[in-house]
Homo-oligomer: A and B are copies of this chain.
Amino acid sequence: MKVYFVSDGTAITAEVFGSAMLSFFDVKIDTKSVPFLTTVDKAMGFCQQLEEDAKSGEVPLVFYTISDHIIRDKIQASCGHCYNLFGDLLSPIEKALGVPARPTAQKAHGIKEGVYDGRIDAINYALANDDGCSVKNLEEAHIILLGVSRSGKTPTSLYLAMQYGIKAANYPLNEDDFESNGLPKVLKPHKKRLYGLTIEANRLHEIRTGRMAQSKYASLKQCRYEVAEVEAIYRQERILYVDSTHLSVEEISTKVMQDMELERHRA
């Protein structure tokens, strides 16, 4: 089944919402995003595409978010199964808020002054403070992620920065730390902002093997040892932690923000 995510902007909202919606259905789906559909001409071209799809098989599904009502009407009048994502909710929300919706173009994923710079700053911060490569800026961190190598620290810190403008440093714990009394001294002043990641030893072994097969680093024995040690440190130091084995970057990030009570505002 062909599915289109269509918008006069990035189409990210249609994509996120439409994909979530479709995950309820056990149907093979072929998705395509159509961003920046801002003119009647483009809308007509798109409607023609829908006609062709319909002729050569099934009628496609179309999830759309479009401000201009002329373009919207064109799409709604097409042969596709079309869903105006904001359609049904706009008027109940107008009632609840007691103000009318603005007729201006909605730019959910456009640039936001102020907020934007915060995100770029946070990304730069995550990159500069990745894998313990610098410890002089730790005071600036909203959070410091701990974990053994390949337990998910870097993607999580980048996701927190990119989506929420959260400054996340990350610091790898390794054999040296395990043999010398646990938590590195440099982290002690920041204890309230430490958060641990852990991972099942088997999965860690798999990931490390993909990078460095046959090494001591990737051996199941070494992975078991490191995971046991890092969890012992978390418990001993009363550091909150999460097992990343079966979680997506989004889920890990959500858990981190929830556990650490970080302000969560999409940038």
Contact = CB atoms under 8 A, between A and B. Distances in A.
Interface string A161-194: 0100000000000000000000000000000000
Given A36-B258, A83-B92, A158-B158, A25 B110 contact: no
B21 A93 contact: yes
B127 A85 contact: no
Greatest chain B CB density within 10 A among A107, A246, A249 is at A249
A120 interface: yes
Contact of A20 (B13, B21, B23, B102): B13
Interface in A53-110: 59, 61, 65, 81, 83, 85-86, 88-90, 92-94, 96-97, 99, 101-102, 106-110
Contacts of A254: 10-12, 35-36, 109
Copy total for this chain: 2
Given A36-B258, A81-B96, 19 more contacts: A1-B97, A10-B254, A17-B85, A19-B266, A20-B65, A24-B90, A24-B106, A26-B102, A33-B264, A61-B97, A88-B88, A109-B248, A110-B250, A116-B248, A119-B155, A127-B130, A155-B162, A159-B162, A162-B162
A9 B255 CA distance: 10
